[in-house]
Amino acid sequence: MKKYLNLFDFSQKVNYKTEILSGLTVALALVPEAIAFALIPGFSPLTGLYAAFILALVTSILGGRPGMISGATGAVAVIFVGLILELKRNFPGIEPESILHYVFATVILAGVLQIAAGFLKLGKFIRLVPHPVMFGFVNGLAIIIFMAQFPNFYQKGTENLLAGMDFGIMLGLTLLTMLIIWGLPKLTKAVPSSLVAILVVSAIVIGFGIDTLTVADTMNEGESIKGGFPPLSIPNIPLTLASFKIVLPYAAIVAGVGLIESLLTLNIIDEITETRGSGNRECIAQGTANILSGFLSGMGGCAMIGQSLINTSSGARARLSGITAAIMLLVFIMFGSGLIEQLPMAALVGLMFMVAIGTFEWASFRTFKKMPTSDVIVMILVTLITAITHNLAVAVLLGVIISALAYSWENAKRIRARKSFDKNGAKHYEIYGPLFFGSVTAFNEKFDVQNDPDEVFIDFKESRVADMSAIEALNKITERYQKIGKKVHLQHLSKDCIKLLKNAEQIIEVNVLEDPTYKVAADQIREGYKIL
């Protein structure tokens, strides 16, 4: 518990100027993202901005990865579209205010599930995500970030490109932003190039009165980012089983998607910074942030890879940058809305283009000829699913499943049996490779039961009995020999294999015939249980 109380990591050396300036840059980048994600399910911009403030602040203080930024995200916002449709089907004529209460209840319950995952130490299972899946996830996310910027080049509310001078101005300012972000670090790294690019382009637009798309233009008529401190919102929904059945599935999805995206982002930032974060601590932080978000009028969210990369590429490595970003975002909402709404979208689009380019794993192209074909297929598949469906959790889960199946298939082909006879005429089978559900068919094909001598030895020194399918295979093969009066000895079973076999005797009949090694080891294990 002590590590959860060490909130601020005071032992870490902090570059205050870099952290504060980087936090300011992230705060500026959070504004249009939070607004856009809030509009996906039809919420007020403030619902997304409040969520961004609360998540950024809480996870920066409590989280397991200093420098990582959380906020309202598209992956979570899309889930609420399904929840709203479900509510409208079950409660025709439901008011928008009532829908928000269900959303807040869902976010709170999702937070509880995430905290439970943290205390149960489920964060470690992110290790099961293979590297090709990570490559595919990152590349797909980069494509999503890149493609999400193109609507800014269309006339508002239409699918028509900006025409003539309007398009030229938008494109020119975007390219200028990208040029500054790319070129300034070659001259100096005293200040974050992203912040300089936003300030320079904004000064040009505001100073010369250039007519171009601004943050205010991305919002619906009459909407504004101006607001106060997030108001308290205790969900007012019927405490019935019917309501719980509606909320629980979506809360579980929000919790799962949020944790997958957050833990994958944590891994990516770990690789960039060459440090190690705590996945379980991050689970608890995300859950705490979502609970507070639900009680303070926020739509919930998770880690944001784009903003996290902006932060780390600006040099931020401590918690101060995330805290600064959250506080500055609240300052913008409460006092600086008029100025923020004048920011040109071209500057923010250029920034996100550079984030997408930096996020994409260009090195993955060089691995095509070096990686196994199955890994290449998994990487491409995860990239496409992520980019097309925007459902990061499904893409990652499918990638993990396909990788696991490919691994099982490869290992199933590796089981071998070396055959020999001793001076007494007994036949020996030396098994190589794992015996599990995928390899039992090949294992059974190794034995010539009818023509083998009366005594057979099956040696597992170079193998391992891995699961119930393997136990059943052993049961069947020894049973076949037993039926025709032949004796089988199982040799060199590992202790965990013996324990597995003894446990299985309660479920199936395990035909282990007169193997001294097995009996002695089994007796030792039973004696150990008695001592314990």
pLDDT tens, 483-515? 888 888 888 877 777 776 676 665 545 555 444
Element at 489 (helix H, strand E): strand 487-491
Residues near 502 by Cβ (< 8 Å), separated by ≥ 6? 522, 525, 526
Q: How far is the C-alpha of 462 from the C-alpha of 428, rounded, in Å?
A: 14
pLDDT band for position 20 (50/70/90)?
very high
- Please tell me the predicted confidence (pLDDT) of residue 427: 92
**Minimum mean pLDDT among 169-178, 226-235, 326-335, 477-486: which range?**
477-486
pLDDT band for position 479 (50/70/90)?
confident
Given a cut of 90, whether residue 15 has pLDDT beyond it is: no
In the chain, the amino acid numbered 25 is T
- Please tell me the predicted confidence (pLDDT) of residue 389: 77
Q: How far is the C-alpha of 338 from the C-alpha of 327, rounded, in Å?
A: 17
- Whose structure tokens read 């910027």? 149
**First and final C-alpha spacing in the chain:** 28
- Please tell me the predicted confidence (pLDDT) of residue 519: 46
- Please tell me the predicted confidence (pLDDT) of residue 156: 74
- Please tell me the predicted confidence (pLDDT) of residue 476: 87
Given a cut of 80, whether residue 7 has pLDDT beyond it is: no
In degrees rounded to 5, what are phi and psi of residue 129?
-80, 115
* Residue with the larger pLDDT of the pair 59 and 306: 59
Whole-number average pLDDT of the chain: 84
Q: Which two three-digit tokens encode residue 23?
A: 């936090």
Helical pair 305-313 and 16-39, crossing angle rounded to 10 deg:
160
Of 48, 59, 51, nearest in space to 259 by CA: 59
Mean pLDDT of 80-92: 89
Q: How far is the C-alpha of 425 from the C-alpha of 290, rounded, in Å?
A: 70
- Whose structure tokens read 């295979």? 473
Q: How far is the C-alpha of 336 from the C-alpha of 141, rounded, in Å?
A: 31
pLDDT band for position 529 (50/70/90)?
very low
pLDDT band for position 177 (50/70/90)?
very high
pLDDT band for position 527 (50/70/90)?
very low
Query: Around 84, how many Cα atoms within 13 Å sit in the side-chain half-sphere?
Result: 15
Tell me if 308 sits within 8 A of 69, measured CB to CB. yes
Q: What percent of the chain has pLDDT over 70?
A: 91
Sign for the pseudo-dihedral over CA of 224, 227, 230, 233:
negative
Q: Which two three-digit tokens encode residue 328?
A: 């500055």
Q: How far is the C-alpha of 477 from the C-alpha of 489, rounded, in Å?
A: 11
Mean pLDDT of 219-229: 82
Q: What is the tens place of the pLDDT at every residue in 263-281? A: 988 988 988 888 888 999 9
Given a cut of 80, whether residue 518 has pLDDT beyond it is: no
Whole-angstrom Cα Rg for the chain: 29
Domains within the chain, CATH numbers bracketed = 17-404 (no CATH), 416-531 (3.30.750.24)
- Please tell me the predicted confidence (pLDDT) of residue 503: 67
- Please tell me the predicted confidence (pLDDT) of residue 119: 94
- Please tell me the predicted confidence (pLDDT) of residue 109: 97
- Please tell me the predicted confidence (pLDDT) of residue 272: 84
* Residue with the larger pLDDT of the pair 68 and 273: 68
DSSP category for residue 231: P
Mean pLDDT of 337-354: 86
What CA–CA distances, in Å, run from 249 to 79, 398, 474?
Answer: 10, 20, 41
Q: What percent of the chain has pLDDT over 90?
A: 33
Q: What is the tens place of the pLDDT at every residue in 134-158? A: 888 778 878 877 887 888 888 876 7
Given a cut of 70, whether residue 3 has pLDDT beyond it is: no
- Please tell me the predicted confidence (pLDDT) of residue 182: 92
DSSP category for residue 150: G
Strands 455-465 and 487-491: parallel
Q: How many CB atoms lie within 10 A of CB 412?
A: 19
Query: Around 83, how many Cα atoms within 13 Å sit in the side-chain half-sphere?
Result: 33
Sign for the pseudo-dihedral over CA of 259, 261, 264, 269:
negative
Tell me if 315 sits within 8 A of 64, measured CB to CB. no
DSSP category for residue 514: S
Of 267, 274, 350, nearest in space to 308 by CA: 267
Judged by DSSP in three states, 12 sits in coil
**Minimum mean pLDDT among 11-20, 66-75, 298-307: which range?**
11-20
Q: What is the tens place of the pLDDT at every residue in 347-382? A: 888 888 887 887 788 878 877 777 888 888 889 998
Of 7, 16, 101, 14, nearest in space to 57 by CA: 7
pLDDT band for position 82 (50/70/90)?
confident
Q: What is the tens place of the pLDDT at every residue in 404-425? A: 888 888 888 888 999 999 888 9
